[in-house]
Amino acid sequence: MKSTLDGGNTKVFAKAVQSLSKFGGDLFIEANIDGMQLRTLNPTKSAVGTYRFSRSFFDCYEVDQNEESFCKLDMRACLTVFRNTKQVERCDMALLNDRTKFQIQLKCQHETLKNTFISVDDEENITAEMAPENNCNTICGSHKIFTEISNNFNPAEEEITLEAQEKKVNVKNYVEGSRVNEKFMRSQLQLNADEFEKYKIEKETCITFCLKELRAFLMFAEALNESLCLQFDGAGSPVFVGISHRDEINCILIMSTLSPEEVSFYDNCQESEVQECTTSKTSQKRKLKTSVPNQSKNIRRVMDQKCIAEDTTLSNSSSLFGFVNNSSKRSYPSSVAVPRNLNTSVSTSSFDEISLLTPALSVETNRMQMFDKNVDPVVSKGVHNGDNDDCIPESPKREGRTNLRSIFSRCFQSTYVPVEPSTSGQIFALDSDTE
């Protein structure tokens, strides 16, 4: 396979490589009769981007009829070649006959010739046998509007959720009522249907997909000054993002989508007034030590244990949460904190047994939690109200801390000797020898 590009098209080609490099580590090049295509997969294999350049895009394009030329190259190697294409006047690309090297020749100004051989990583090709034909929902718009949408979110944002309704679209970086980190900024942007060039929603739906890949794709759309087309069915089935440029370049990005049911929810997600913890720390200490009756201590212990259980299970599938099991359905924002409360009172006895079996740990964590509250001034601010009878941990921060304490619990036991940990592991062996 051999192909030649002129200066202007080389810049477009370089832009394509640059944009693909934003999300994939390997570049798959395939050349056939119709043209050349560049493909990449993201590391989690949830998105695949395909940039297809037709024959007419190239000045000269040769490919053997019976031969299918494809190869897998390292993205970083390609990126270095195409990083600076300002002075390029001509670009020749060829897959060498023995299929071990991919040759790129850049003819630059002042008779400079840059010759690069990139070794072929693998004779591998990927295909994505999916076509955006029968999707019921389509949103098309200029790259500007999509750039504005992407600018509405933090640069580090990973996923966005698109709520497509008949007359408007809602773009969010969270799912209503979902569990989020305490430092997480929830954002949403509402746009009207008539802001888009084409807006056809047959079935109202809500899909979640990666933002990073979309941003990479957007970068190329901006370079071509073309509009973007989103086609999708619903959550769980893929979303197709397309760009086409004068029949010469056809790009399609296929991303898997996530349905909102797969995230864990908060029990209580109602807006309330911000409260300040006004009691001073010493009085809080006293209150906790004296006034907490046995019963609520038990509940507390149970709750602590539940927290540990929740936090140590890696999966966020709902069946693992005790309280969700009992109430037999996920608690959405509308059902306020009741299930969790109710639960504990019903199943206290059974949990008591559990807490008897492993009392040491739970007591320890319990004690640590109290200790922690008394000493650390940063924790006891804001929403926490210490004088309530039901000492249910409300904020996720404390749950996280309990988890931390339970993992490193030995560090907080009286038997722990705080010796500076050695940097090299080999010293352990030496010590036992000398003794």
Positions that interact with another protein (CB under 8 A): 145, 151-154, 180, 182-192, 194-195, 266, 268-269, 271-278, 280-281, 377, 380-383, 395-396
Burial class from Cβ neighbours inside 10 Å (0-12, 13-18, 19+) for residue 95 reads buried
Please report how close the Cβ of residue 280 comes to another protein at its closest, in angstroms: 7
As a whole number of angstroms, the distance between CA 58 and CA 126 comes to: 23
Instruction: Please name the residue that has the structure tokens 């907080």.
Output: 412
Please name the residues in contact with 50: beta carbons below 8 A apart, sequence gap of 6 or more. Answer: 37, 38, 39, 128, 251, 252, 253, 254
User: Which are the contacts of 414, defined by CB distance < 8 A and separation ≥ 6?
Assistant: none
CB of 278 to another protein, least distance (A): 7
- Alpha carbon distance 143, 213 (integer Å): 14
Strand partners, 159: 210
Residue placing its CB nearer to another protein in the complex, 106 or 230: 230
Give whichever of 34 and 276 is closer to another protein, judged by the CB atom: 276
Q: Cβ of residue 21: shortest distance to another protein, in angstroms? A: 25
Q: Which is nearer to another protein, 55 or 144 (CB)?
A: 144
Between 78 and 149, name the residue whose CB sits nearer to another protein.
149
Instruction: Report in angstroms how near the CB of residue 384 gets to another protein at its nearest.
Output: 10
Q: Return the structure tokens found at 258.
A: 């996530």
Instruction: Report d(CA 242, CA 401) in Å as an integer.
Output: 45
Nearer to another protein, 155 or 425 (CB): 155
* Block residue for tokens 């969270």: 174
Q: Select 64 or 195, whichever has its Cβ closest to another protein.
A: 195
Least distance to another protein from the beta carbon of 154, Å?
Answer: 6
Kindly tell me which of 33 and 383 has the beta carbon lying closer to another protein: 383
**b/e for 67-92, b at 16 or more Cβ within 10 A?**
eebbbbbebebbeebbeebeebebbb
Q: For residue 255, which phi and psi values (nearest 5 degrees)?
A: -125, 140
Minimum distance between the CB of residue 177 and another protein, rounded to whole angstroms? 9
Q: Could you please report the per-residue DSSP string of 366-386? A: HHHHHHHHHH-TTTTSTT--T
Instruction: Round to whole Å and give the CA distance between 174 and 156.
Output: 14
User: At closest approach, how far in Å is the CB of 394 from another protein?
Assistant: 9
